[in-house]
Structure 1
Amino acid sequence: MKTEKIQYINSFLFSEGIKNGIFAVVNAQEKLNSINVFPVADGDTGTNLCLSLYPIINITNSQTEKTVGSLLEKIADKLIDHSRGNSGSILAQFFQGMSDSAVDIEQFDTYQFLRSLKMGNRYAREALSEPVDGTILTVIDKFSESFEDSYSNEKNKGFSEIFSRVMVTTKEAVAETKNQLDVLRDSNVEDAGAKGFYILMHGFVEFIVNGVSQKEPSSQKNFLDHQPEEIYPDSDEIEFQYCTECIISGNEIDRRKIKEILLKHGNSIVVAGTKNKIKAHIHTDNPSFVFDEMKKFGTISSEKADDMKKQNKIIKNQTKSFAVITDSAADITDKDIEELDINIIPIRIQLGQKSYLDKVTITPDEFFKELLVNTAQPTTSQPSVGEFRRHFQYLASHYNNVLSISVTGSISGTLQASESAAKKIKADGNIYTYNSLNASLGQGQIAVYAAKCAKNGKDIHSTLEELNTIRKNTKTFGLIPNLKYAVQGGRVPKTVKLIADIFRLTPILVSTDDGLIVTKKFLFGKNRILKRFAKYIAKNTSCNKKINISIGHAIAYEDAKTLKEFLETEIEKINEFKITELGTAIGVHGGPGAIVVGVQTI
C-alpha cells in the first residue's frame, strides 16, 4: 500500500487509475441496474455505464499517451463515440470538459486537476437542457466542490490528503440523493448514475492513493445477493417510449440550437461533445424525426433507439429462465412480439441519402411505399458487433440465459456478428447464439417457438434441443412478382429478368436445409398465380401433421388474405394462421407486391 505523498498525477497514474475505476463500475453493473429508477425505470444504468466506459480500456492498455492532456483527449473522444444513456452521455461531457482544460498539460498538480474538474463539472451541467438535482450531476458537482474546498484549506497538501476528504463528502452526497427525488425516496434507493460516478472515482482514487487494484471483471463474477427492493412504475407511466441517440459529425456544430430542437420532441436531453462531434441523447416517441433533424447539423452515425417500455417490462417480469432476441430480418406479428417479450435488434437500411433502423424509424409499409417513388436502390446492413453486445449486455444482466436467433448464416454475417459479441460479454448471464437457417417468416416462427418455450417455463437446454427439431420442420416460401428490385440489388442478372418478363415467369423462392434461399420453381403466366402458389406450398408440406402458417406481404394485404383462403383449402390441419407485414430481409429484393410464407410442422 502506498504511503508517500503524491504531488503529481502523470499519464500513467491517471490511465491506471481510470482503468481501476472502470473495473469497479463493471463489477457493480448489476447492483447499479437494480437501483435504476430515474429518469426511467428501465434497469440499464449499470449496463450503459459499462458500455460507455469499457472501450477506454483499449486506451489505458496501450500506454501510448505521454501527457495527461493527450490521454484525456483520447478518453473524451472515445466516450463521445461509445457513451450510452443519460449517465454515459453526461460522463462523456464531463471528461470533455476535463480534456479541454488540460490541453498541453503534461501532468496534473492539485491546482491543474482542480481547474480540470471545474470545467468538467460545468460542461456536464451545460449538456442537459433541464438539469435535475439529486442525480449524477449533483454528485459530480459535490466532487468538484469538495476538491476545491480541500485544496483551498490545504494548498501545501498533496492528492492523498485532498482525496481522502473528497471521497467522504462525495459518498455522503450519493446517500443524500435518495432524499432529493420522490421516485428515489419511494424506492428507497440512491440515484444509479450518481452511484456509478462515485464508484468510478472511488476506484480511481484507491489506485492513485493506495495502489489498490480492482480485479479485472469476468463473466463469472459474483454480485451482491441482497439488493434493495425494486419499485418500478408501470410502463404506461413512461412518458416517452424510445431512448434515442446518435453522433453528429460536422463543423462548428451549434449545441444550443440542437438542444432547442430536441426540447420540442421529448425529455432527458443531453447534448455532449465538441464543435466537430456531438452525441445527442433524448427520450422521444419519434426517433425518425429526431434523426432527420440532427442531419441538418452534419453527418449522423451510431443511431440507436431502445424501447424503454419493453425494457421496463423485462425488469418487472423476470420469471422466465431465458430471454429471446432476434434481428429484424425475422418477420413476427406485433402481438407475438409484445405478448412473448421477444427482443428485436434492427437491421440498418440505406435508401438514397437516408439511413433507417428497420421497423423502428421506418415501418415496412413506409419502406415499400418509398420504393415505389424512390429510384435509389435500397441496401441493408447487419447489426454491428457493438449493437449485439449492447443488447446482450443488457439482457444478460437481467436473465440467467439469453438466446439469440439469427437470420440464416448462409446469406448474412449477422450470425457471425452475434457470435463475436457473445464472446465479449461481461455479465452473469450466458449467451447462446442460434442459426435459424431461415429468414423472414420462417425465422420469425422459430423465434416465436423459442419464446413460447421460455414463457412456458422450459429451460434453455431443452429448448435448444426442441429447436433443432423444429428448425428442420420450418420452411420459408417466397413469391416475387417483379424482379426489378432483385436486379437492382445485384441478386438477379438483367438477362434473367428479361426472360422472365417475356415468358411471364414468376419465381418461387424456398429456404433449403442448409440455410440458402434459392429459386425452386417458376410459375408460368399470371392467371390464378396465388392459387398455384398455395398448391406448391401444400405439395411441399407434410400435411398429415399440424401446421403453423404465417404470411408476410409487401403492401399486398388483399393478396395475403386471398392466399390464406387458398392455403386453408389445400391444407387441412392448420394449427394457427397469421398475417403480418413483410420486412426487409426478402422484401428489399422482392419489392412491393412480394408475398412470403412461413410453414412450420409441429
Structure 2
Amino acid sequence: MTTTTLDNAFLYNAFIIGARNVISEKNSLNKINVFPVPDGDTGTNLASLMNSIIEKSMLKDTSLETMETIVDAAIEGARGNSGIIFASYINGFYEALKNDDLTIDEYIEMVTNAADQAYLSINKPVEGTMITLMRAWATALNSLKDAGHSVLEMFSKAFDVLQVELKKTTEMLAVLKQNKVVDAGAKGFVHFIEGFIKSLKGEKVSMDFQDVPEITEHLHIDHLDESQYRYCTEALLSSIDLDHKAIKAHLETLGDSLVVAGNKRRLRVHIHTDKPDQVFTYLASHGSILEQKVDDMIRQFEMVNHQKYKIALVTDSIADLPQSLVDQYQIHQFALGLMINGTTYYDKLTITAESFYGLMDTLDVYPTSSQPNQRTLENFFSQLTTYYDKVIVLSVSSKMSGTYQAFVDSANKFKSKDKKIAVIDTIQNSGAQGLLVLKAAQAIKAGMEFDDIVTYIEKLKKETKILVSVKTLKYMVRSGRVGKTTGIIGKIVNLKPVISIDDQGEGIIFDKGLSIKTSNKKIFKHIKGILEFNEIDDYAIVHANAGDRVTSYEKIYTDLIGKPPTYIMNISPIVAMNAGIGTVAIAYIKGKSKLVDQSIH
C-alpha cells in the first residue's frame, strides 16, 4: 500500500505535534518516574528534548533536510536516560530515510531502524521500558500493513496495540509492579505517537501543563539502592569522526545506565557515576564538549520521596559549604561554569578544587567563569517547582557575577499564585555566602515562615563579612581582578593585601600588608575589634590548599573567639581562580551586641 500523505510537510508537522503532546504530559510523567532512578524528572527531560525540536527544527525543501534539523535539535536538547534514548530513536529514523514521499513499507523500515538504534545506544537494555514500546510500534504497524486499512485506520489500530503493551510494562519490572505504574519513559513515547496520529487527523495540541494530583502513597520509594551512583552525568560532544564504540567501552568502567546516542558529528552521552570529573576529562580528549549536565540524583530522590522541609533552599557553587551540611539540610546547589582550554566545566562537579589547583600554574590561557546556561537553569527550576511550592535562592553577590540576574530571570518564569520564589542577593561569596546559606537552612528546619526567612537573611547578610589573606597577587592579575601594573608593583614591594567585600557587594582591598605575617595580624586585629562589642555567631575558615596556614588560623581563632570554626574547607575552583593557591580566609556572622547584654545586667 502506498500513500502520498507521509511527505516532507507531514513529517515535520507530525514531529511538532508529537512533541507538543509529550510536553503537555510533563508533570504526569514526572509523577510516575520510578525507573531506573526514582528522581521524578522523566517528564522534564523529555520536555527538554521536545522543546528543542519545536524551537530549533525547520521545514526545509526535502524530507532529508527537514529531518536533519529535527535530529540535530533532538540530540542537542536531549536530557536524561529517556531523552537520550529518544534522541537515538529519532537519529535511527533519520538514517533510514530515503525518499520525500514515504510508502508505509518505508515508514515501517524507518521506525524499525529507529528502535534498533535506540537499543544499540544503551549499554545494558532493559525490557519494559521505552525501547520495548519503540519496537512494539514497528511490529504492530508491520502486522497491519497488508490488511487494507487507510493510513489513519492502520495507525490508530497500531496505537491500540501500543496502549496494551504500555500496560504490560507494569508487570515487566519489579519496581513498576510494586508501585502500580507504567514506565514513565514508555508512556512518554506513547504520548509522542498519540500526537503523531493527531497530526494525521489535523488536530492541534495545547502545551498547557495539566493539573495533576500530588504524589500518591503507593509512589513513595523508601530508599535508594546502596550501589546507586550519585550523579546523572551528560554531555553533548562534537568532533569530525567520533568513535561510539570506543567511547562506550571506556565510559562503562566509570558507572552504569550508560547511553551514547548520535552520529559521527555529535554525540549525546548519559551515565550515572560518582566521578563526573573523570567522565568529562576523558570526553574533552575526544572532541569539544558543547553542553554538559550533572544532576545530583540523591537530592532529586529526596525531593520526590523524602523531603525534610516544605521550602526548597537553593544556592550556587560559589557558596563554600561542606557537602556534609549540604546533604544534611537537603540544599540544592547549582554548579556554575568554569572555562578551561575552550571547555566549560562545572564548579565542584566536573572540576574539583584539588584537580584545579594542579592546573592553575600550567595553563597558557587562564580560566574564566561563565554564566549559567539559561535552558539548564529553567529545567532546574521546572523540576523544583514540580515538587515544591516555595523556593528560596541565595546567590553570590550580583556585583561579582551575573548569576543573580540569571536566577531572577529563570525564577520569574515559574512564579505564580501557587509558587513562591525569592531570589536573594547575598552581597557575599565563598565562606560568607556559605554561612548565610547555612543560616537559611537552619531557619527552614526550625519552621520559620517563608517571608520571615527572606527578611531574616536580608538583615543577616549586612552582619556578614569575609577577610581574605592572599599569598600572591599573580592569580588576581591573571584573572583580571587587579591590573598588571598593580600586580607588578605589588610583587616588587611584596604586597600581601587583605581582600574583602563592601556593603554593595563589590570586592575591595580591605587592608594592606607587606608580608603574610602582617596581613594575618591585620585580620586578627579586625576580629578582635568585633569581639569587643559583639559576639561572633558563626565563622568558617576557607582556603586554597593553604596547608599550615589553615592549622594556624584554626588554633588562633578558636582561642580568640572561644569556639572552633563551624567548618573548614577548600574554596571552590571559581573562587580559587581569583584568589590563588595558598589563600586563606575567615568568614563570620556578627552576633548579638555585648553592650546590650551589659545594659540588661
TM-score of the superposed pair, with normalisation by structure 2:
0.91
Checking the alignment, whether the CA contact within 8 Å between 1:509 and 1:519 is kept in structure 2 is yes
CA distance in 2: counterparts of 1:326 and 1:145, whole angstroms: 48
Deviation for aligned residue 1:91? 0.6
Amino acid at match of 1:198: V
1:20 and 2:17 matched:
yes
User: Structure 1 578/228 Cα, relative in aligned 2: closer, same or farther at 3 Å?
Assistant: closer
CA distance in 1: counterparts of 2:126 and 2:431, whole angstroms: 46
Checking the alignment, whether the CA contact within 8 Å between 2:541 and 2:565 is kept in structure 1 is no
CA distance in 1: counterparts of 2:106 and 2:268, whole angstroms: 27
1:260 and 2:238 matched:
no
1:160 and 2:149 matched:
no
User: Structure 1 577/129 Cα, relative in aligned 2: closer, same or farther at 3 Å?
Assistant: closer
User: Structure 1 426/539 Cα, relative in aligned 2: closer, same or farther at 3 Å?
Assistant: closer
User: Structure 1 534/584 Cα, relative in aligned 2: closer, same or farther at 3 Å?
Assistant: farther
1:467 and 2:438 matched:
no
Deviation for aligned residue 1:214? 2.7
Checking the alignment, whether the CA contact within 8 Å between 1:238 and 1:309 is kept in structure 2 is no
Query: Out of 226, 233, 237, which is 1:237 matched to?
Result: 226
User: Structure 1 264/445 Cα, relative in aligned 2: closer, same or farther at 3 Å?
Assistant: same
1:179 and 2:171 matched:
yes
Deviation for aligned residue 1:400? 1.3
Structure-to-structure mapping, 1:502-513, within 5 angstroms:
502-513=492-503
CA distance in 2: counterparts of 1:381 and 1:597, whole angstroms: 26
Deviation for aligned residue 1:77? 0.4
SS of equivalent to 1:523: coil
User: Structure 1 66/224 Cα, relative in aligned 2: closer, same or farther at 3 Å?
Assistant: farther
SS of equivalent to 2:219: coil
CA distance in 2: counterparts of 1:511 and 1:106, whole angstroms: 63
1:100 and 2:95 matched:
yes
What is the match of residue 129 of structure 1? 123
CA distance in 1: counterparts of 2:293 and 2:141, whole angstroms: 36
Structure-to-structure mapping, 1:142-541, within 5 angstroms:
142-154=136-148, 157-209=149-201, 211-217=202-208, 221-225=210-214, 227=216, 229-232=218-221, 234-352=223-341, 355-372=344-361, 374=363, 376-425=365-414, 429-527=419-517, 529-539=519-529
Deviation for aligned residue 1:278? 1.0
CA distance in 2: counterparts of 1:547 and 1:93, whole angstroms: 54
Q: Show CA shifts across 1:491-516 (max 9, x none).
A: 21232223323333211112112111
CA distance in 1: counterparts of 2:272 and 2:7, whole angstroms: 39
CA distance in 2: counterparts of 1:24 and 1:452, whole angstroms: 42
Q: Show CA shifts across 1:76-116 (max 9, x none).
A: 1011111011110011011111122235x434443332232
Bigger CA drift: 424-433 or 116-125? Answer: 424-433
SS of equivalent to 1:524: coil
Q: Percent identity?
A: 28
Q: Show CA shifts across 1:545-567 (max 9, x none).
A: 44211111111143223223333
What is the match of residue 111 of structure 1? 105
User: Structure 1 242/492 Cα, relative in aligned 2: closer, same or farther at 3 Å?
Assistant: same
Structure-to-structure mapping, 1:545-560, within 5 angstroms:
545-560=535-550
SS of equivalent to 2:511: strand
1:41 and 2:38 matched:
yes
What is the match of residue 578 of structure 1? 567
SS of equivalent to 1:269: strand
- Unpaired stretches in structure 2, ≥5 consecutive residues: 592-601
Q: Show CA shifts across 1:126-164 (max 9, x none).
A: 11122111110001111111112122323xx33210121
Bigger CA drift: 450-459 or 114-123? Answer: 450-459
User: Structure 1 431/59 Cα, relative in aligned 2: closer, same or farther at 3 Å?
Assistant: same
Checking the alignment, whether the CA contact within 8 Å between 1:235 and 1:313 is kept in structure 2 is no
CA distance in 2: counterparts of 1:163 and 1:461, whole angstroms: 53
User: Structure 1 527/131 Cα, relative in aligned 2: closer, same or farther at 3 Å?
Assistant: closer
Query: Out of 73, 76, 82, which is 2:71 matched to?
Result: 76
Q: Show CA shifts across 1:189-228 (max 9, x none).
A: 211110111112212312322x33332325xx52135747
Checking the alignment, whether the CA contact within 8 Å between 1:582 and 1:596 is kept in structure 2 is no
Deviation for aligned residue 1:483? 0.1
User: Structure 1 544/264 Cα, relative in aligned 2: closer, same or farther at 3 Å?
Assistant: closer
What is the match of residue 26 of structure 2? 29
User: Structure 1 419/239 Cα, relative in aligned 2: closer, same or farther at 3 Å?
Assistant: same
CA distance in 2: counterparts of 1:481 and 1:71, whole angstroms: 57
Q: CA RMSD in A?
A: 2.6
Amino acid at match of 1:151: K
Deviation for aligned residue 1:540? 5.6
1:589 and 2:578 matched:
yes
User: Structure 1 228/523 Cα, relative in aligned 2: closer, same or farther at 3 Å?
Assistant: same
Amino acid at match of 1:446: L
Query: Out of 49, 52, 76, which is 1:52 matched to?
Result: 49
- Unpaired stretches in structure 1, ≥5 consecutive residues: none
User: Structure 1 226/59 Cα, relative in aligned 2: closer, same or farther at 3 Å?
Assistant: same
SS of equivalent to 1:360: coil
CA distance in 2: counterparts of 1:411 and 1:226, whole angstroms: 40
SS of equivalent to 2:281: helix
CA distance in 1: counterparts of 2:165 and 2:521, whole angstroms: 71
Checking the alignment, whether the CA contact within 8 Å between 1:94 and 1:124 is kept in structure 2 is yes
Checking the alignment, whether the CA contact within 8 Å between 1:59 and 1:75 is kept in structure 2 is yes
CA distance in 1: counterparts of 2:381 and 2:124, whole angstroms: 31
Q: Show CA shifts across 1:61-87 (max 9, x none).
A: xx6434443332211101111101111
Checking the alignment, whether the CA contact within 8 Å between 2:337 and 2:369 is kept in structure 1 is yes
Checking the alignment, whether the CA contact within 8 Å between 1:321 and 1:399 is kept in structure 2 is yes
Deviation for aligned residue 1:541? 7.2
Query: Out of 85, 89, 92, which is 2:84 matched to?
Result: 89
CA distance in 2: counterparts of 1:441 and 1:131, whole angstroms: 44
CA distance in 1: counterparts of 2:536 and 2:277, whole angstroms: 41
1:565 and 2:571 matched:
no
Amino acid at match of 1:536: H
Deviation for aligned residue 1:577? 2.8
SS of equivalent to 2:538: strand
